[in-house]
Amino acid sequence: MFRSNLPGIDVQIEGIGEIDSSMHTVGIWVQNARHTQGDKSTPSLDRGVVYYLKGNKIMGILLWNASDVLESARQFLLSRPEVHENVIDELKEAISLGPDDWLHVLTT
């Protein structure tokens, strides 16, 4: 596990398991607050969970301003779950960040 605090931008990050930028990621972000850029509205990335996947196995979890769900993330990762073709729906429900209509998904 690692923890990083970035007070200048008001961000606290916690990572558990294997965090590797070469892995496929699925980020679940709370989007109840929005920022406007020109005439485009983009979701705020103030709070979220990023899952790191190798194949269909979750290898690591990064929490972004979500320290309150750290124990849930640990328990979820310990179960070493496999995800299926509906990966986004599965991961939106794995660790509760808020109501479904508040959540925004970003993948790499």
Quick check: 52 and 19 in contact, CB under 8 A? yes
- Share of residues in the chain with pLDDT > 90 (%): 56
Alpha-carbon distance of 29 to 27, in angstroms, equals: 6
33-53 mean pLDDT: 69
Q: How confident is the model at residue 32 (pLDDT cuts 50, 70, 90)?
A: low
- pLDDT band, very low/low/confident/very high, at 39 (cuts 50, 70, 90): very low
